[in-house]
Amino acid sequence: MIIKTKMHDITVSSVVSEKIRKNGKIYPALKFIFDGAVSGEDIEALTFGSIEIDGNTHDGYNTLGEVSVTVGKITTAEQTAADLEKELSAVNEEYGKYVQTVKTVLPVLDDKTAVKVKNLYDEWEPDRMYAAGVRVLRGDVLYKVIDGQSHTSQSGWEPENAPSVWLAIDETHEGIFDDPIPAVSGMNYEKDKYYVYNGTLYLCIRQDSEEGTVLQFTPDQLVGQFFEIVSE
């Protein structure tokens, strides 16, 4: 790393941010780490007042007595922290590439597969154009724009409040007594399937089309009309 000073350029192995205490106060400082011996000229240059690191100019070092430059060898703790930061940066970079790769596949997944990786989908946002078939995450529920219903989202028309546009997806439960479907507003309910809501088990007793019935309500609000309570 090349450090530019008012006197001359200096090569250092790394720069570490640290704190120093002076007259009972704590000030920010920079610690320059050298691979080999350090000359008096280098120390004088680093403490002259203006330092340029990676194109950024740092003024005030040792000129006003408010901050300080220290020169020395890197400590074990500093080296460990630096190594960990490099490892974390590499991991984050690889994870970012992985997520970007996966997101290119998300639109073509079937609902059963999509709901298993629902946290990779973008959160619903207002004032956005959503095309038919687009899936978004709202809370812990994955929703899909119903075919032929592409629209511009807006507050008050959140997926759970707009069953005419959004369909809640649940493909991980069979809807039988031992594996009921967690009910949410905006779900397509099917007759003879079991649903669970707030710890209560319901049986759907009606549907208005061959595909089922999309309802803006939860089972507890439609007992006797679309649902019957099985157990509480």
| C-alpha to C-alpha distance for 157 and 166, rounded to whole angstroms | 9
**What is the percent of the chain with per-residue pLDDT over 70, rounded to a whole number?**
91
Q: Residue 103's pLDDT band (boundaries 50, 70, 90)?
A: confident
pLDDT of the residue at 129 = 93
State whether 98 and 118 are in the same domain: no
Q: What is the DSSP string of the chain?
A: -EEEESS-EEE-SEEEEEEEEETTEEEEEEEEE-SS---HHHHHHHTSSEEEETTEEEE-BTTSSSBEEEEEPPPHHHHHHHHHHHHHHHHHHHHHHHHHHHHHHGGGS-HHHHGGGGGGSPBP-SS-EE-TT-EEEETTEEEEEPTT--EE--TT--GGG-TTTEEEE--S---BTTBPEEP-TTEEE-TT-EEEETTEEEEE---SSTT-EEESS-GGGSBTTTEEEEE-
- Residues 44 and 63 grouped into a single domain: yes
Taking the whole predicted model, whether its pTM rises above 0.75 is answered as no
Indicate if 62 and 138 belong to the same structural domain.
no
Distance of CA 88 to the CA centre of its chain: 16
Please check whether residues 166 and 53 belong to one and the same domain: no
Give yes or no: residues 121 and 54 share one domain.
no
Residues 136 and 206 in one domain: yes
- Looking at the structure, do residues 60 and 139 belong to the same domain, yes or no? no
Looking at 58, 91, 106, the residue that finishes a domain is 106
Do 211 and 193 contact (CB within 8 A), yes or no? no
Q: Are residues 81 and 22 both part of a single domain?
A: no
Which residue is associated with the tokens 């970079």?
93
**Contact of 142 with 168, CB cutoff 8 Å:** yes
Q: Over 80: is that where the pLDDT of 85 sits?
A: no
Q: Are residues 87 and 53 in the same domain?
A: no
- What total of structural domains would you count in the chain? 3
Q: What residues make up the domain containing 168?
A: 107-231
Please, what is the average pLDDT of the chain? Answer: 84
Confidence of residue 177 (pLDDT cuts 50, 70, 90): very high
Residue 111 shares a structural domain with residue 84: no
Say whether both 154 and 222 belong to one domain. Answer: yes
User: The CATH number of the domain where 167 resides is what?
Assistant: 2.10.10.90
Asked if residue 114 and residue 66 are part of one domain, the reply reads no
Largest Cα separation within the chain, whole Å, is: 89
**174 with 209: CB under 8 angstroms?**
no
Q: What is the pLDDT of residue 28?
A: 76
